[in-house]
Structure 1
Amino acid sequence: MTQSVDDAMRGFNPVLPLAVALSGGADSVALLVACAQKWPEQVVALHINHGLQAAADSFEAHCRALCLQLNVPLRVQQVDAGKQPGQSPEDAARQARYRAFRALALVDTTQPTIRSIAIAQHADDQVETLLLALSRGAGLAGLSAMPAHWQREGVDYYRPFLTVAGADLRAWLALRGIPFVEDPTNHDARFTRNQIRATVTPALQTAFAHYRDTFARSAAHAAQAQQLLEEVAVGDLYSIGRDGDGAPRIKVLQALSRARQANVLRHWLRSVHAAVPTAAQLTELLDQVSACTTRGHRIHIKVGSGFVQRNIDCLTWYNP
């Protein structure tokens, strides 16, 4: 069920001190204000200046003024969000943002290390993420949408507002007379997420009044199923892996069903080599594994930035 801001904050109890990612928009401003009120002098704001639009400096100026008013320390970092070949601009910005978050969390060595960072995505963002995943034909990992809590490089990240509607955050700010900035890119129809926000979610609201709750429940079911698949993959990789380096042994892999082969190979590539195969690459790899019945059978398939190939009786991945 969707919640009010106050109810969501009552259920949010991270390890302190806490850092809040602050863009200057309504969602992050509401999160910072709510956290600063709940934990005075225990909250730090982190602002990432991507420099991707002309308004970036005015966003930073707004964040500085707000933090001065709230008596909250502000840490700012400019980042280069240039994308790598095959990487979307959004993913490049996201990866740069997380690197900057961790750097900013550790920047002041005279204070206790920040191990908790809160991010302000809300229930409408969760719906948009799920719809984007469906539009791309995502598997369970994508349909799980955004987790409320996860860990990355020793830092705990939280999304305490995933159960709060975006309109409720803005109403909460309006009651308190707290200003925020509007990101002009939020209305740019070139972005699929903005198209969903402008056309799809209003239609959902008309047809299914409780769609935020039901979509969140479906995402939770997908996340639970994905966790089970991960546990199966860990066990399977242990069973099929070669002693010493854990490289999948082809004959043992072939004894698994095709679905379990796909599951364990996807897990192996992602967890060991940080390589994510496309659906076409994974299908080709499974076909090659199935056909690998002779000594001379060769496997050499592009996956991520490298290649999966056969090495005697095992599969290996290498980045040339």
Structure 2
Amino acid sequence: MTNSTCPSFVTGETVCLPPIKIPFYFSLRPNLFDGIPDTYVAVAAPVLAYWFMSLIFHCLDISSWKWLDKYRIHESEEVKSRNLATYWEVIRAVIIQHVMQTMLGLAWLTEPPEISVARCQSQMEDLGRTLILVLRFLMGEETGMKFLDLRGPEMTHWLYWWGIPVVQILFALFIFDTWQYFLHRSMHMNKYLYKKIHSVHHRLYVPYAFGALYNHPIEGFLLDSLGAVIAEYAACLSVRQSIFLFAFSTCKTVDDHCGYSLPFDPFQMMSGNNADYHDIHHQTIGIKSNFSQPFFIHWDALLGTRMTREDIQQRRQKVKMT
């Protein structure tokens, strides 16, 4: 049975596509917020996300809710007594990093082309022509064209609005993780880099949310700000996709330093790379492990630098036995 809207997917030199159905997440507005260019939203989003997320966890820190005690990785007094940096030192360093990342974002991001139905339609037609070439190659001329006449419009629509954007975001997360893992690991393996740069972040022996971006300015620029730009460029993200990437990665970074192991936290449910996993890295026993951040743990698992709480218990048992 052929598609009623497009009885034949290929019509002459063009492809037949039904009228565009805009998905819920997309807006044809020239800017998401009236009078504010999307590029400004992209550089503001991670800053606002950082302070908003940090404030939530700070409220939990100062609360007297007893039900939270079982979820705290460290006692509140331990946070105060074992960290070498004061709250004001941390906030000052974070503000410096936010200024640098904002300047980089304004210099890097460019105004997106005008958003319109006609532009989306043109891009979908280009995608449809590419789909024809791919399926003809994979399935053969006759079988491929029969399949396209039946499912071509729906497949093109799904790829354009869902398939390709999701792959872009996942690829950006992979690039971000890869950049951060190898740069982070090098800062631990090279004594000079650790002493002069990365040791600043490890003055927070017991992490907390506001300290997620407490870094040496050079590290903050290279590891976080430049890493986000590289991921955005490699994945060919639009400005609006970049807004999501920058805000999401910031929220995840704050959550990884929050000091709580929360079973209902969506950021901690998405992968094994969570607050407890990263807390191990901040302890003396795990400082040469768990370099992966902020999303997944595949590089630690593949390259033998993963450490779990069970590994720590096994090491302690071996020490006792010897």
TM-score in terms of structure 1 length: 0.23
In our comparison, the structure showing a higher alpha carbon Rg is 2
Q: Flag the structure with higher helix content.
A: 2
Q: Flag the structure with higher strand content.
A: 1
- Which gives a bigger RCO, structure 1 or 2 (Cα 8 Å, sep 6+)? 2
TM-score in terms of structure 2 length: 0.22
